[in-house]
Structure 1
Amino acid sequence: MNYLSAENIAKSFGDQWLFKNINFGISRGDKVALIGTNGTGKTTFLNILTGKIPADEGEVSIRKDIRVGYLDQSPAFDESLSVIDVIFSSNNPVAQVVKRYEHAIETDNHDELAEVMEDMDKFNAWDFEYRTKEILGRLGIHHTENLFGTLSGGQRKRVAMAKVLLEDPDLLILDEPTNHLDLDTVEWLENYLNTSNTTLLVVTHDRYFLDTVCNQMLELDHGSAYPYKGNYSYFLEKKAEREEMEAAGIDKARNLMRKELDWIRRQPKARGTKAKYRVDAFEELKEKASQKKFDTQMELNVRTSRLGSKIIELENVSKGFGERQLIKNFEYTFRKGDRIGIVGQNGMGKSTLLNMITGELMPDKGQIVKGETVQFGYYKQSDLVFNENQRVIDIVKDVAEVVQLGTGETVTVGHLLQAFLFSPSKQYDFISKLSGGEKRRLQLLLILIKQPNFLILDEPTNDLDIASLNVLEEFLLNFPGCLVIVSHDRYFLDRLVQHIFVFEGEGRISDFPGNYTELREYQDEQEAEKKSSGTNANGGKSNTTHVIQPVKETAAPVATAPVAPATPKRKLSYKEQKEMEQLESDIAKMEEQKAVLVAKLHEGGSHAELAQWSKQIEELTESQADKEMRWLELSENA
């Protein structure tokens, strides 16, 4: 069943076409991702589909009985309304009953609660109420009587998401839904959309999300749309093939144009004496040959300042606001080459820790000692304030006219802007014409060209397109200084970090040796153990920093002399000796196999490959544990 159709859609701003002749359709059960670089018009396209703005050309048709829910990037509601009024602003009678029920609980109004309980039974609204509790809880919306106007940008986005999910539309359109969500909530949303029957159109740059949730891709690229039937990994493969074919076609057209140009020049000047069909064909060929071959995989290699041996030491650092303790007795000494990820639910103090490290906030207790050579580059969630009437290149030139690369060469800021995906024409655009993602990209570049040796990135992936993320990741992989990242982008964390600070609440911060996927696997193992034993697998926790010790791949255990054996030991038989030797060989081989797989995980790959490698490591670990147990049994008798 076709839900939505768009035919020959076009939109221009001034004399420049953003896109033209776009044809698109979405049917029941489709989960489509709209992707493209910043500035290609993804949000504009969604606004046209939902009727928020008109198209300059073409027509959008939505099936009459279809309910559409739209979450845009910057939700706007009456700021005088309470959160619960915003969430339940639809005319659905079941939603209105649940709204009254939630209000009675929030205000502890027993009379209203007794009255509304009857209506809850009458409308059979308990299932809806359970769904409401789950969605609000998962999105961290607890104080529903607060006014919408008092909320932060991230809180507003989560309230709007709760509203659109509870309306349970037939067609759900989401613009950057994972921005401002913590990692646990992103994974919940991913699972929610995977298990629901909702038809989905989404704009997101979360590559794991694209691979897991979406079964179709629609790419906006230089004014045209390219559909792909498959997930993100399939799209990457087919996009590479398409670009290769287009590049070959442009090269062929250029070669042919040279011959045709020579023929045009050799003919009499009077156009009527030339073969008209050949002249027309030449004009078409000229248009194709003049197309540019775009390469978004460019190297960003900015020189960094020298970093001394003493970097930053945090000694028994504590910080709280009012009665709430965010950080308690945290200790850590930064070393050269540290690549640290920070994860935890919103409001647990991640940004507070970053602000204390940079000296913008003082701890309540303890001290932070900074080395003399440390130069911070701090990318914050809040936008930089730009002069909207200034041009892109002028803003960068205010910082530096030329930039020294890691190779020792110097380049102009124009070349550097191009390496960061600002085309020569885009460099002379006014800031007011940039998209949100382009402003974010410019903000990052301004930080990097100051040659910091200690980079702190607080949610750097918000609003950045995938091409920009690839450029940034390649730069950070080769960054020689210290790197601290707060991000909800799991792929980004898996590629770049070597250990993770886990904010657990009540001031506790744990240090996990590994990337995000390894942390989740460890947490799942701990949860499984907790359920099987019926006790808390972590036991009592202190308030000081501690290191999570995951199950490590262990080498063959060393036999030790038994202490006070209860019974005399016998000698191993020839068969048992051979078995013991074989076990040692098998255990060593398993170590090598796991080392190869772990290296592959760190290098990165598609979601399917990462899942497969993780499963193989788990199977090898289980098999190795069995063999080690048998080796121990034999060694006791050796």
Structure 2
Amino acid sequence: MNYLSVENLSKTFGDRTILNQVTFGVAQGEKVALVGVNGSGKSTLLKILTGIETPDSGQVVFKNGITVKHLLQNPEFSKGQSVLDAVFDDNNPDHAILKQYEKAMLRSLTGQENHDEIQQLIEQIDSKNLWDLESQAKQILGKLGIHDLQQKVQLLSGGQQKRISLASVLIQKPDLLILDEPTNHLDIDTIEWLEKYLSVANMALILVTHDRYFLEQVTNNILELELGKAYSYQGNYAYFLEKKAEREINEAASIDKAKNIYRKELDWIRRQPKARGTKAKYRVDAFQETKDKAFSAQKTNELELNAQASRQGKKVLEIAHLSHGFGEKSLIKDFSYTFQRKDRIGIVGPNGSGKTTFIRLLMGEITPNAGEIEQGQTTKFGYYRQVEESFNPEQTIIDFAKSIAEVVEVGKGRTIPVSQFLTRFLFAPDVQYKPIGKLSGGEKRRLQLLEILIQSPNFLVLDEPTNDLDLITLGTLENYLEGFDGSLIIVSHDRYFMDKLVDHLFVFDGSENIKDFPGNYTDFRNSIQDTPAPSPKASESKKDKQKEPKERKKLSFKEQREFEQLEAEIPKLEVEKAKLIEQMNTETDHEKLMDISGKVEAITEQLDEKELRWLVLSEIS
């Protein structure tokens, strides 16, 4: 049963054809991934499916009666909207009841007497058996790091807003869900949870993502967009790679055949008198068709990276007894490491554990509290930041590139003009004179990467390099980095990228000690799973266990109110703590630093106590 049918869909912008007679369908339970290079039409197709864009021709038909939800890159919210308003849909009667219940509970926490209102809502929830839905909604919100339902969405970061939108569409349990880069702004643990959730969810799915492990585990159909056409592969990502290679081999053979025919047809065309109007029209038409086929391979969408790294001496980078923190909060303690040529290091750890601080210390952006960082004389850093660089939107691509270098060294003393290097980065000659402000997000990230490689660094530090890059560009970047003749540090939530490129990890666990783990990310996760759970205390007897009270299925009304209150208080304390730590980062007065530090310590104690109680209550519920 098809939930979605797309027939002969075409879309052009100016003289550029983005989609050309694209036809496909999505059946019940089918999970489809759209893949293709930046600019191949993925975002355009999603916008057409969601009604943001209209096609030039063709049609999009959804099955009557199904619920379709979507989450694109930049979600929009109403002014003044709270998290609670954003995640529950008023048009859904069940969601409306749960939303009223949540608001009533929040009012009760402020001292308003509304016991009768809450009791009536509880009875409605009981009668409609909505407690499971409420529990699932809380689970989804919690897994996505959303706890304070009273926050105003417009005050949150773009990443937090993306999580709220994701929570909203998941809670509504649509029949067909459309997602654009759902793993962006999520940490690895959350990505793995989302991966498991979507792989077993009873819904059809269309998604765009650069996370190949995610594709492998979640999707069962790959739809590739290339040069305006769509190619469908009934299988996961590994199957797609295999069949795509076969298709390209077959196409190469047909192109060679077309070139032979083209040469003969070209000879015939040239031999005809120019003034003569008796050329067979069918021969001329066939000639043009054969020419298009013969030279279709020249329209490559493959990025080519072969910039040469600068020569690197014996001394690369040495860290001796490095310690750093802010106020009383110590992030790094007595860490030493000597980097070797061609080191491949991945950095992992939860938010706030010190990963970004460590990178900034290495880059000289902040000064350590103790210890030394000594850079080798020949070490030349290339730092790819997670935040997109602020380009001059009026400057053309070619002028920007020439402001860095006129020529680029590509190995063995060979150089090429910077314009040719741009072409290898998929910026065609006619595009190079385009203002940077006209580029897509993915194209700007590609330009940011070009800016780094064009300077021939020999020590690359890449902070979330996979965001906004397409799979083809990622594959090419990986191939380049595998052969990169310098040192490499990667901070990334892309597990595939990390596994392929790093051979050991710096693990930040928030305890101020950095662990050097020998292996890639999957090795590290496996080592955690293989660690045996702590054995029960020797004093614990079977008799003691038998005395344990049976687990209750529901919280009492009083406990439910306490649980709701804790969920509102904990995020506020976390925000207050974060603000104090931020003040510590800029404060230079010693007495004020001590005062702020005392406040941070007090809040930390409160958080520990409240989080422990929340955990106990959550186990009961």
TM-score range, shorter chain: 0.7 to 0.9
Work out the CA distance in 2 between the residues paired with 1:163 and 1:396.
42
Correspondence 1:499 to 2:504 = yes
Q: Given residue 331 of structure 1, which amino acid in structure 2 is its aligned partner?
A: F
Shift in CA distance, 311/197, structure 1 to aligned 2, threshold 3 Å: same
Matched residue, 1:327: 331
Deviation, 1:432, is: 3.0
Give the whole-Å Cα distance in 2 for the aligned partners of 1:97 and 1:356. 51
The share of aligned pairs that are identical, in percent, is 51
Paired amino acid for 1:361: I
SS in 1 for 2:434: coil
Q: 1:379: how far off?
A: 1.1
Q: Cα 1:96–1:252, aligned 2, differ >3 Å: closer, same or farther?
A: same
TM-score, L = length of structure 1 = 0.78
Residues 599-630 of structure 1: CA deviation (Å, up to 9, x unaligned)? xxxxxxxxxxxxxxxxxxxxxxxxxxxxxxxx
**2:4 alignment counterpart:** 4
**For 1:422, which of 422, 427, 448 is the aligned residue?**
427
1:369 corresponds in structure 2 to: 373
Mapped to 2, the partners of 1:47 and 1:326 lie a distance apart of: 46
Letter of the aligned partner of 2:56 in structure 1? Answer: D
Task: Report matched runs for 1:68-467 at 5 Å.
Answer: 68-103=68-103, 108-109=109-110, 111-112=113-114, 115-116=117-118, 118-123=120-125, 124-269=129-274, 272-293=277-298, 294=300, 296=302, 298-309=304-315, 311-320=317-326, 325=329, 327-336=331-340, 337-363=342-368, 365-373=369-377, 374-467=379-472
For residues 398 and 457 of structure 1, the distance between their equivalents in structure 2, rounded to whole angstroms, comes to: 23
1:104 to partner: Cα distance: 5.6
2:50 corresponds to 1:63: no
- The SS at the match of 2:48 is helix
After superposition, the C-alpha distances for 1:455-492 in whole angstroms (9 at most, x for unaligned) are 21110000111111122112222223321111111111
**Structure 1 gaps, min length 5:** 536-638
Q: Please state whether the residue corresponding to 2:23 is helix, strand or coil.
A: strand
8 Å CA contact retained: 2:309, 2:486: no
TM-score, with structure 2 as normaliser: 0.80
Rounded Cα–Cα distance in structure 2 between residues aligned with 1:84 and 1:509? 38
How many positions carry a matched residue from both structures?
Answer: 529
Q: How far has the Cα of 1:377 moved from its partner?
A: 1.6
Q: Does the 8 A contact of 1:36 with 1:42 survive in 2?
A: yes
Structure 1 residues 100 and 349, CA, compared in 2 at 3 Å: closer, same or farther? Answer: farther
1:6 and 1:24 in contact (8 A); partners too:
yes
Distance 2:6 2:203 in 1: 20
RMSD over equivalenced CA pairs, Å: 2.3
1:488 to 452, 471, 493: 493
Distance of 1:302 and 1:100 partners within structure 2: 62
Report the counterpart of residue 18 of structure 1 in structure 2: 18
Q: Secondary structure at the match of 2:26?
A: strand
Question: Judging changes above 3 Å, is the alpha-carbon distance between structure 1 residues 481 and 326 closer, same or farther for their aligned structure 2 residues?
Answer: farther
Contact 2:460 2:489 in 1 (8 A): yes
Residues 92, 58 of structure 1: alpha-carbon distance in 2 compared, 3 angstrom cutoff: same
Partner of 1:627: none
In 1: Cα distance, 2:433 partner to 2:251 partner: 28
Q: How has the CA–CA distance of structure 1 residues 53 and 274 changed in structure 2, closer, same or farther, with 3 Å as cutoff?
A: closer
Q: Deviations over 1:305-351 (max 9, x none)?
A: 5345261315241323x77x361415132311322111223343322
Residues 87 and 159 of structure 1 are in contact (CA less than 8 Å); yes or no, is this contact kept in structure 2?
yes
- How many angstroms does 1:402 deviate by? 0.7
- Contact 1:380–1:457, Cα closer than 8 Å, also in 2: yes
Residues 559-570 of structure 1 mapped to structure 2, 5 A cutoff:
none
- For residue 40 of structure 1, what is the aligned residue in structure 2? 40
Contact 1:300 1:419 in 2 (8 A): no
- Taking the aligned partners of 2:274 and 2:336, their CA distance within structure 1 comes to 79
Change (3 A) 1:495 1:310: closer
CA distance in 2, matches of 1:295, 1:36: 9
CA distance in 1, matches of 2:305, 2:54: 39
Distance 2:89 2:313 in 1: 55
Is this contact kept in 2: 1:36–1:221, CA < 8 A? yes
C-alpha contact 2:305 2:477 (8 A) present in aligned 1 = no
**What letter matches 2:40 in structure 1?**
T
Aligned to 2:574: none
- What is the CA–CA distance in structure 2 between the aligned matches of 1:113 and 1:330, rounded to whole Å? 56
* Structure 2: stretches of 5+ with no match in the other structure: 538-621
Give the whole-Å Cα distance in 2 for the aligned partners of 1:26 and 1:310: 53
Counterpart CA distance in 2 for 1:171 and 1:113 is 39
Structure 2 CA distance, aligned partners of 1:369 and 1:222? 49
Separation in structure 2 between the aligned mates of residue 509 and residue 132 of structure 1, nearest angstrom: 36
Superimposed CA distance per residue, residues 271-324 of structure 1 (whole angstroms, 9 cap, x where no aligned partner): 55333333332232233233234262634232225345261315241323x77x
Q: CA deviation at 1:102?
A: 4.1
Measure, in 2, the Cα distance between the counterparts of 1:217 and 1:160.
25
Paired residue for 2:546?
none
Aligned mates of 1:357, 1:312 — CA distance in 2? 10
8 Å contact kept, 1:355–1:361? yes
Give the direction of change, closer, same or farther, for the CA distance of 1:385–1:410 in structure 2 (3 Å limit). same
Q: CA separation in 2, counterparts of 1:113 and 1:207?
A: 50
- Superposed CA deviations along residues 566-621 of structure 1, whole A, max 9, x for unmatched, are xxxxxxxxxxxxxxxxxxxxxxxxxxxxxxxxxxxxxxxxxxxxxxxxxxxxxxxx
CA distance in 1, matches of 2:45, 2:97: 36
- Give the AA of the match of 1:243: E
Q: Counterpart of 2:197 in structure 1: which amino acid?
A: Y
SS of 1:422's partner is coil
Q: What SS does the aligned partner of 2:533 have?
A: helix
Question: How far does residue 96 in structure 1 lie from its aligned partner after superposition?
Answer: 3.0
